[in-house]
Amino acid sequence: MEIEVFQSDLDGSGLRIGVVQARFNQVICEALRDACLAELVDLGVDAEDVFVCTVPGSLEIPLVLQQLAASGEFDALIALGAVVRGETYHFEVVSNESAAGISRVALDFNVPVANAVLTTETDEQASARAAEKGAEAARVAVEMANLASSLSGLAGEDEDEDDYDDDEDEDEEEDEDEEDEEDEGESEEERRAPGRHGRGARH
């Protein structure tokens, strides 16, 4: 028995990608964006097929992702942002809520979303990670878009098999109905035949 294994597909040609970038911690977020866009082009995504939208901060990212996903125009989406720990609990709130919202969009709309919202202790840590994280988000988006497309093809094959089975069942039911009608016709003719139950035997 041969096991089918889906290989990583990083060919971005023909894909349409939506990018939502936060402006808070702007220098870091722009570094994320620049690296992400450069990698998308390197992977074969046409620049005209990339849509970029900016929002005030990371908490606003999920709403715009949701609207882009609902449009049905994108094969994958990318979230870019930077949350750096401060002296209050606000860091945990923003980090957790933005991550939860981003994941929910992917699951609710069945659209791959690459999460590249950095969460770090310092600005220096964020700056050091920005370029690689942005490029990684591009690779994730392209790979997951292609994987999702392949898996949807599998679902289509299952539907075709189900339709074939349904057609066979319908044909069998039609044959049975025709046989029942023939039996009923024969019974009616027998009832009308002379001599049945003694009728028609008199002179």
Residue 88 pLDDT class (50, 70, 90 cuts): confident
DSSP 8-state code for residue 58? G
What's the pLDDT at 199?
41
The residues carrying an active-site annotation are 90
Assign domain 17-150 to its CATH architecture: 3-Layer(aba) Sandwich (3.40)
> Which amino acid, one-letter code, is at 143?
E
| Environment class of 62 (CB within 10 Å of its CB; exposed 0-12, middle 13-18, buried 19+) | buried
Query: Does 28 have pLDDT greater than 50?
Result: yes
What's the pLDDT at 154?
79
Residue 113 pLDDT class (50, 70, 90 cuts): very high
| Environment class of 110 (CB within 10 Å of its CB; exposed 0-12, middle 13-18, buried 19+) | exposed
Greater pLDDT, 113 or 160: 113
Contact 9, 57 (CB under 8 A): no
Name the residue ranges covered by the structural domains of the chain.
Answer: 17-150
Greater pLDDT, 55 or 182: 55
End-to-end CA distance of the chain: 79
Summarised one tens digit per residue, pLDDT across range 130-173 is 999 999 999 999 999 999 999 988 766 656 555 555 666 666 66
Return the ∠ at Cα 167 (arms to 164 and 169), rounded to 5°.
110
Residue 180 pLDDT class (50, 70, 90 cuts): low
Contact 90, 57 (CB under 8 A): no
Mean model confidence pLDDT for the chain: 87
Report the alpha-carbon distance of residue 28 to residue 126 in Å, rounded: 7
Beta strands in 13-125 (DSSP E): 17-22, 50-55, 76-84, 113-120
Contact 142, 113 (CB under 8 A): no
